[in-house]
Structure 1
Amino acid sequence: MSEMVRVLSTLAVKTAVQQLVEPYVSTIGCRIDADFAPTLALLERLRAGDAADLVILTREGLHELADEGKVIAASCVDLARSYVGLAVRAGAPHPDVADEAGLRDALLAARVAYSRIGASGILFASLIERMGIAAEINAKAVVIPSGLTAARLVSGEADLAVQQISELKQVDGIEVVGPIPFALQIPAIFSAGLMTASSRRQQAGDLLRHLASSEFADALRTAGLEP
């Protein structure tokens, strides 16, 4: 089992990919070296020369690499739809965020943690600007460069965490309140594709077909994503 497929993946599908690794390795006989980070960070690394066999990014990020010739366009496949949600520390009251008015009240009453460069953080920053409450929120917000925002709930630094629901669920000691109202957000689509320069294209292609299978769809649902 000397072959190893290197995967660079967005954080949002980390749990699902990790669930896949052991059965994939035992079935296919090829190890997976997976590295997880926000899409924008991965795009910077790939453009700077970081190597991978298969990448999982936002659909937009993957298509950018395909346009640049770094990803094989014909290999690209959509894997999951993801919504941005809110979480609180375990045991804390759940605010009512079913509509825009409730969301506004909850955000203004809390110290909010969100990510600067993640897809969820970009959406959230735009959302609070549109709602006219960006100055009030950012005056007491915890804005992290990247990583899991719900960790700031556990540490006591924040009252509400904003991120993809699948990323919120990766942190113990928190509870997901629910999604930001659907009318206020556009779901992120996460897609996978083969790197043009991969020397393990056959093995990476086998993995990509597994990612598009019903088995992986079950793992996505468990992780809080929609296949």
Structure 2
Amino acid sequence: MKMSLIVAAASLLGLTPAVAPMDGAHADELRVLAGGSLRSILTELAPQFEKASGHKLAIHFDTTPNLIKAATTGEPFDVGIVPIDVFYDQAAKTHFTPPVEFARVGYGVAVKAGAPKPDISTPQAFKKTLLEAKSITFLPASAAGSYILRLFERLGIEDEMRAKTIAQDQPTGIIPAVVNGEAELAVFVNNVLTAPGVDIVGPFPAKYQQELVFPAALAVDTKQKEAAKAFIDFIMSPAATVVVKAKGMTPGRS
């Protein structure tokens, strides 16, 4: 009882997301499928959840195509926190319960820290900056990358951008490519660009801006339903949203 009161009080004060203590119950290991862009957020929240609940998390971060494959043909999982594009795949969608919106994020451009910031304030300036850049980097094989590729087509510059793109296979490669001088610009979702070593130039112009949504849902066949629900409640809690905002994302809504 005392522990429950302490946890509840801490939650009200915004000190930590409230998770019911186990009181000696069996600890579950939860298998979580997660979008690679969520790595910095979930690696910060995961230890907090494990400490508060006693459950362990095994998080598999990956790109949208691989997450669809994992949901439909891979090993059993308990929770998915994935780009909404995963739910557009009808086969993958059947493996999830109805989701809640965990977070959303817009797109932006970043340069190496201290480098001059190009003008992307208008659609014309944005296009000019992309065409004049010697090299850009992003992750084409992802939900975010798919939107960026469609935008290049919309701008009529897909051939020029293809020639100067340094493609990454995981979001973790984007920032190092800019920091080490391999790429002049990083073009991706803002939470990935919110990182040491780079400066965010700004968001895409409003005409081209779009938000990528990350829903969270239980696996329909999870054997750890209560623990999985507790994890989703945890990442949706007021204290967890502080981390979400600090990482450059907008907390979602149920």
* 2:158 match: 134
Return closer, same or farther for 1:218/1:50 CA change in 2, 3 Å cut-off: same
Partner of 2:214: 190
Which string of whole-angstrom CA distances, capped at 9 and with x for unpartnered residues, describes residues 108-163 of structure 1?
11111121212221111111111111111222221223333222112321100111
1:89 Cα deviation (Å)?
A: 0.9
Equivalent position of 2:51 in the other structure: 26
Which whole-Å CA distance do the structure 2 matches of 1:47 and 1:225 have between them? 28
Count of aligned positions: 224
Q: Give the aligned residue type for 1:22.
A: P
SS in 2 for 1:150: helix
Q: TM-score with structure 1 length normalisation?
A: 0.91
Counterpart of 1:105? 128
Residues in 2 aligned to 1:68 and 1:184: alpha-carbon distance in whole angstroms: 28
Structure 1 residue 114 corresponds to structure 2 residue 138: yes
5 Å-filtered alignment, 1:1-227, equals 2-62=27-87, 64=89, 68-73=93-98, 76-110=99-133, 111-148=135-172, 149-170=174-195, 172-227=196-251
Q: Structure 2 vs 1, CA of residues 61 and 67 (structure 1 numbering), >3 Å: closer, same or farther?
A: closer
Task: Say if 1:39 and 1:67 are closer, same or farther in 2 by CA, change over 3 A.
Answer: closer
The percentage of aligned residue pairs carrying the same residue is 26
Distance 1:38 1:190 in 2: 13
Deviation at 1:19, TM superposition (A): 1.7
Instruction: Rate the CA distance shift 1:63–1:122 in 2: closer, same or farther, 3 A.
Output: closer
Moved more, 15-24 or 99-108: 15-24
**Cα distance in 2 for residues equivalent to 1:65 and 1:31:** 30
Q: Is the 8 A contact 1:54 1:193 kept in 2?
A: yes
The 3-state SS of whatever aligns with 1:58 is coil
Structure with bigger gyration radius: 2
Q: Which runs of 5 or more structure 1 residues have no equivalent in the other structure? A: none
**Which amino acid is the alignment partner of residue 220 of structure 1?**
V
- Provide the rounded CA distance (Å) in 1 between the counterparts of 2:119 and 2:59: 37
**How far is the alpha carbon of 1:20 from its aligned partner?**
1.2
The RMSD of aligned alpha carbons is 1.8
Please, what TM-score do these two structures have when normalized by structure 2?
Answer: 0.82
In 2, Cα distance between the equivalents of 1:153 and 1:206?
38
Cα distance in 1 for partners of 2:88, 2:241 equals 22
What SS does the corresponding residue of 1:107 show, helix, strand or coil?
Answer: helix
